[in-house]
Copies of this chain bind each other. A is one copy, B any other.
Amino acid sequence: MFTISINRHMTVKVVENIKMREKTLTMETLNPQVKAVEYAVRGPIVLKAGEIERGLQQGQKHPFTEVIKANIGDAHAMGQKPITFLRQVVALCSFPELLESPSFPEDAKVRAGRILQGCGGQSLGSYSASQGVDCIRRDIAAYIKQRDKGVPADWDNVYLTTGASDGIVSILKMLVSGQGLSRCGVMIPIPQYPLYSAAIAEMDAVQINYYLDEDHCWALDINELHRAYLAAKEHCHPRVICIINPGNPTGQVQSKKCIEEVLHFAFEENLFVMADEVYQDNVYSTDCQFHSFKKVLYEMGPEYFNTVELASFHSTSKGYSGECGFRGGYMEVLNLDPEVKAQLVKLLSVRLCPPVSGQAAMDVIVNPPLPHEPSYPQFHESTILGALAEKARMTEHILNAVPGIKCNPVQGAMYAFPSIFIPPRAVEEAKALGMPPDMLYCLRLLEDTGICIVPGSGFGQREGTHHFRMTILPSMEKLKVLLEKLRDFHIKFLKKYSSLEELER
């Protein structure tokens, strides 16, 4: 039946094989650690939202005209405009002929010229060193020193990364080892950003959950750390503690005292500290302040500052710039064994280098225009952060006015993570459908309103509680509409699934 362009002998073999040939890569043969990976931020609800969006484009009817994606911290997708200065520098680096153009400000040209000087052949198209472009690493170290009020920062400890995720995964990769009782345990907050659980699953390490205290604005309770650590010690070797501050998805900003306690605990128990500080510029509550783990460690004295192994992560994707697509980021490591450092460089060198345009974007963020420079007046980072603070307050305010929704203050980051009451009947229906109750909630919300948010079960939460994560990134107007639709849906949802008594409670 088929014409085959090979000799007869082979033809025979083919025919024999037609029946017997199976796929090499199936769900049965797939790497089980890959199977174990979960990533809710782009999970089933988001895939469904994509389907519906395509359906709308093809004229399908829905009770709404557009899908609003509040599932991911993607500022530009939500309409935030890029920072002109940052984009000017990146454009100048990409097409250096523009350095001659009078329509670009001097300070942008100086930044671009300096970055290009640091690139092989003065081109963004050359591989950079695996740790990143030298002059950008120096700028980052200078920025950290200034941020931390003079705490020394060595550019040799700074590594550019492909977004923060790449740095987090690289450090975890170094730490994960051992079998049985000596298998590496990684302490992560619950709720967490699912990159952590995904990486831990992929590396077959042990996930150690420490629960944040929802009743106290998602604070980190040192006693809970001890509890989790001691329980884990029974079956693995806890070696790392991950902290996300400001919190994702929980939005809390940690107090200096709390950070001191965590660092002391890590010191005592010989834990490697991974501080995810990508939201360091996103602090909204006037009674909160960002304290870097490094600065607090320094202030605890040299016994701490010279011994505790710490990695801190930052990114171009959050803050006021929201440049997610450039995949820029960096990490600063402290007290890394010199030989281990060489191993880290070796590991990073296999993937050659982080995207150089992302490195350029990172450089602008740590090296913004100064008051005397021409671009300073147009550099509106405070406007953006001010607007986010307003949205944070409005979100908390509207959500807390809804019966059956309780939302902690959004002190920082860019998410609300309210707890939601889900009536027993809805819980049963979810069970019957084989999904977590808050996934059913988010699914129904999506189908009814076109609003796409992520179920709390994707981030982890205390047994029996239910949450969702939504971003506060849509424009003020859109966010208000979103929250009102959400309120109306929630009330309808309660009515649908509750008995009268439950409603009166």
Does B120 lie within 8 Å of A76, measured CB to CB? yes
Q: In chain B, what residue has the closest Cβ to A335?
A: B23
Q: Give the docked Cα–Cα distance between A272 and B21 (Å).
A: 12
Does B327 lie within 8 Å of A31, measured CB to CB? no
- State whether A39 and B90 are in contact (beta carbons under 8 Å apart), knowing that A21-B307, A358-B355 are contacts in the complex: no
Residues of chain B with a CB closer than 8 A to A272's CB: 24-25
Q: Give the docked Cα–Cα distance between A268 and B6 (Å).
A: 14
Does A119 lie within 8 Å of B325, measured CB to CB? yes
CB distance from A322 to the nearest CB of B (A): 6
A309 CB within 8 Å of chain B: yes
Instruction: List CB contacts (< 8 Å) of A151-203 with chain B.
Output: 162-163, 165-166, 169, 173-177, 194-195, 198-199, 202
Does A24 lie within 8 Å of B271, measured CB to CB? yes
A299 CB within 8 Å of chain B: yes
Does B350 lie within 8 Å of A39, measured CB to CB? yes
Interface window among A77-85, A375-383, A406-414, A489-497 = A77-85
A94, A101, A174, A198: most-surrounded residue (chain B CB, <10 A): A94
Residues of chain B with a CB closer than 8 A to A286's CB: none
A303 CB within 8 Å of chain B: yes
Interface size on A, residues (CB 8 A): 118
Instruction: List CB contacts (< 8 Å) of A307-350 with chain B.
Output: 307, 309, 321-327, 335-337, 339-340, 343, 346-347, 349-350
A88 CB within 8 Å of chain B: yes
Does B37 lie within 8 Å of A77, measured CB to CB? no
Does A198 lie within 8 Å of B37, measured CB to CB? no
Listed A/B pairs (29) with beta-carbon separation below 8 Å: A3-B301, A14-B267, A17-B268, A17-B303, A24-B309, A25-B239, A30-B174, A31-B174, A31-B175, A34-B343, A42-B352, A75-B125, A76-B120, A77-B126, A82-B125, A88-B95, A90-B94, A90-B95, A125-B322, A125-B323, A125-B326, A126-B325, A163-B352, A195-B350, A324-B353, A325-B355, A327-B352, A327-B355, A357-B358
The answer, among B162, B301, B340, for a CB contact under 8 Å with A355, is: B162
Does B79 lie within 8 Å of A121, measured CB to CB? yes
The answer, among B120, B174, B239, for a CB contact under 8 Å with A77, is: B120
Does B125 lie within 8 Å of A174, measured CB to CB? no
A128 CB within 8 Å of chain B: yes
